[in-house]
Amino acid sequence: MKNNNFDVDFLLREAMSSAAMPDAELVQKVKCKTFREVSVMIKKSTARRSFGTAAVIAAVLLAATTAFAAWHFLKPSDVADKAGNHVLSAAFESETAVNINASATSGDYTFTLLAVVTGKDISDMPYYSNGALQNDRTYAVLAIQKVDGTFFDNQSVDYFFASPLIKGTNPAQVNAMSMGGAYSQNIVDGVLYRIVECDNVEMFADRGLYFAVCSGVFYNSDAFIRDAQTGEIKANPDSIEASAVFDLPIDKSLADPQKAEQYLKELLPSPSVDYDEGETGDSDNNSITDSQSETGKEITAPSLLEITN
């Protein structure tokens, strides 16, 4: 007969009375951490440890699972701090920041959009385009996890396209890559955190805004479904690519229709030009050219600037 004093799965069920269970990855992390810590404690004690050990395991598991929501993800401000962007960190702690915390699982990944903030001079890592400072920007923090419970590390070769999208425009043309986009990312405790930035999209708030992510380097129309009549964009559940689309809840009162219209006229080659839905975003109109990072280096590759720490 199995001794429940040493059955960790039994202790886990007993310690958690709530119906809200953490995911399997967390359970395994807690088990491993608990066994390591408890094994040290056991070595320090030489008598009557069987019942006491079970109580310690149950107590540690209960405390860890209770704190699950608090430490499962870094705060957006902490993500910015780890990227060395302390001004942006303060912006994510301000009243203008919008905390979202929405998750979607697709393919091999779970995507969580943590927060978004927009404004002028809210970063101490300036972005330049054609030699001109672009200081009115949108910043979003995205967390990515692997569904199988394995962790990202510095040798990971997973690539992702992540960008705000504007309802009613062709996302193959109008996305972060064409809107002065850049990103930085860090891996913390196996979770990939990405800060995505681009020109301020709040001018389009009255049209409706999304934040989209898919596996791969470029926008892939196969990963999404776009309604040509309504402009609605959603993830394609039948795609072989992992993808997710989140609503970007920016206050509609911040919209500036005239500024938005002028921006699109300057961005797009012609109002009549519209890429075939088969495009994957690797056309010249989706490239970042003649732009500079905060280090002054030219960016000529047709992909977002990546700063991986």
Question: What is the model's pLDDT at position 161?
Answer: 98
Percent above pLDDT 90 for the chain: 60
Decide if pLDDT at 297 tops 50: no
Is residue 123 within 8 Å of 85, Cβ to Cβ? yes
The mean pLDDT value for 284-308 works out to 33
Q: Domain map of the chain by residue range?
A: 4-69, 74-308
Query: For residue 229, what are its two tokens?
Result: 């009549």
- Report yes or no: 80 and 125 within 8 Å, Cβ to Cβ: no
Q: What integer is the mean pLDDT of 151-160?
A: 91
Confidence band, pLDDT 50/70/90 cuts, at residue 290: very low
More reliable by pLDDT, 221 or 15 = 221
Q: Across the chain, where does the E strand assignment appear? A: 98-106, 109-120, 127-129, 132-134, 136-146, 160-166, 182-188, 191-199, 209-215, 224-226, 233-235, 243-247, 291-292, 298-299, 305-308
Mean pLDDT of 102-106: 97
User: In the predicted model, what is the mean pLDDT of residues 185-192?
Assistant: 96
Cα of 274 vs its chain's centroid, Å? 29
Indicate if the pLDDT at residue 121 is higher than 90: yes
pLDDT digit string (tens) for 173-185? 999 999 999 999 9
Tell me which H or E stretch contains 59.
Answer: helix 50-66
Residues in a beta bridge with 146 = 109
C-alpha closest to that of 236 among 226, 225, 248, 220: 225
Average pLDDT, the chain: 75
